[in-house]
Amino acid sequence: MFPPSERYYRCYRCFTKFAPDGEPSGDGTKRSMPTSSDPLKESPSIPGESRSRAEIVDTRLELDERGTKYAVETFEVRIKNRSDTPLRVTRITLTFDGDEEKTTPKDELVVPPNQTETADIHWDWIHPDQNSVTIDVRSDGETVATADVTISMP
């Protein structure tokens, strides 16, 4: 979300204005905060065929201590495509210690059939109280691979 302005917020994906308490937003319409049942939110992991299409085979996280937090020098995820068709990775989301899900900026990646490719995750900081991260790899709105990673501080 972007910072509040005039007592309303904007969605970072679609720029829709909403107020957390259902008050009229800046454009005069009354909207409440999006919920998990809103159609704008991508569906969570879908069991079955989409889950077996890919696998996270390795992660690389290099941190550099900077005061009270750690700067992320390198954050890479190796993704193996187990299907016979190319896999287009459209989004990677991170969930630190079971907190809220955060979408990471990343370059689009196409993993050829039965091949492995590395996705660079653009992330700035890891805080000392963050001990684990769940990584979800998504292709066209479906979660195709998930991994839980323990963060080891330098």
User: Looking at the predicted structure, is the pLDDT value of residue 26 above 80?
Assistant: no
pLDDT one-digit tens code per residue, 28-45: 444 433 343 333 333 344
What element of type H or E holds 93? strand 91-96
pLDDT digits (tens, 9 = 90+) for 66-106: 988 999 999 999 999 999 999 999 999 999 987 888 887 66
> What pTM, to 2 d.p., does this model score?
0.64
Task: List beta partners, residue 87.
Answer: 111
50-150 has CATH 2.60.40.10 classification: yes
Domain extents in the chain = 1-36, 50-150
Angle, CA of 52, 54 and 57, to the nearest 5°: 120
Tokens of 23: 């008050």
